[in-house]
């Protein structure tokens, strides 16, 4: 690894782990939807008690969040924001995303405003702060 990026190794690893998780979930989502007779790209009926719906939501949520997570983390790294904070925030965001994935897959909690929402907000807040750190480092 280039020395300049070595200080950000946790953040870089978190990006790769989250990307691999999204890639790993993708074929399982397709198989579950295919098993329900759904066309490629179709969405299962919005029923939180349905495993296919929850798996699809987990996958879609990951694909929706991944670009922002990558953008703010990479920007913070390239602009030289504090490695401590970038590593910490990227790692906490990753843990929050993993917790959210487990909650989705296990059907834990309420459909709205439960533990899953808290986990989402924690990850979202980390990404916002990463973006602010990147902007601060740029100016």
Per-residue tokens: 64: 């929706």
Q: 133: closest CA among 3, 8, 4, 2? A: 8
pLDDT in tens, 6-50: 999 999 999 999 999 999 999 999 999 999 999 888 899 998 889
CA distance 20 to 34: 22
In the block, residue with structure tokens 């459909």: 111
Q: In this predicted model, which residue has the larger pLDDT, 66 or 107? A: 66
Q: How many CB atoms lie within 10 A of CB 31?
A: 12
Q: How far apart are CA 48 and CA 40, in angstroms?
A: 20
Per cent of the chain over pLDDT 70 is: 99
* Res. 102: pLDDT tops 60: yes
| CATH class entry, domain 6-37+48-138 | mainly alpha
Tens digit of each residue's pLDDT (9 = 90 or more) over 71-80: 999 999 999 9
At residue 2, the pLDDT reads 72
The span from the CA of 20 to the CA of 17, in Å, is 5
CA dihedral (65, 67, 70, 76) in degrees, to 10, reads: -100
Whether 1 shows a pLDDT value over 60: the answer reads no
More confident residue, 3 or 103: 103
Higher per-residue pLDDT: 124 or 1:
124
């Amino acid at each position: 690894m280039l020395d300049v990026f070595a200080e950000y190794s946790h953040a870089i690893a978190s990006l790769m782990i989250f990307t691999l998780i999204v890639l790993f979930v993708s074929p399982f989502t397709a198989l579950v939807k295919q098993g329900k007779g759904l066309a490629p790209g179709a969405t299962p009926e919005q029923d939180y008690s349905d495993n296919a719906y929850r798996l699809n939501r987990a996958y879609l949520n990951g694909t929706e969040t991944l670009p922002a997570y990558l953008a703010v983390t990479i920007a913070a790294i390239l602009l030289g924001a504090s490695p401590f904070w970038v590593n910490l925030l990227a790692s906490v965001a990753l843990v929050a995303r993993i917790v959210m994935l487990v909650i989705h897959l296990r059907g834990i909690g309420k459909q709205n405003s439960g533990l899953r929402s808290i986990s989402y907000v924690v990850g979202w807040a980390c990404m916002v702060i990463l973006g602010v750190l990147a902007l601060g480092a740029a100016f």
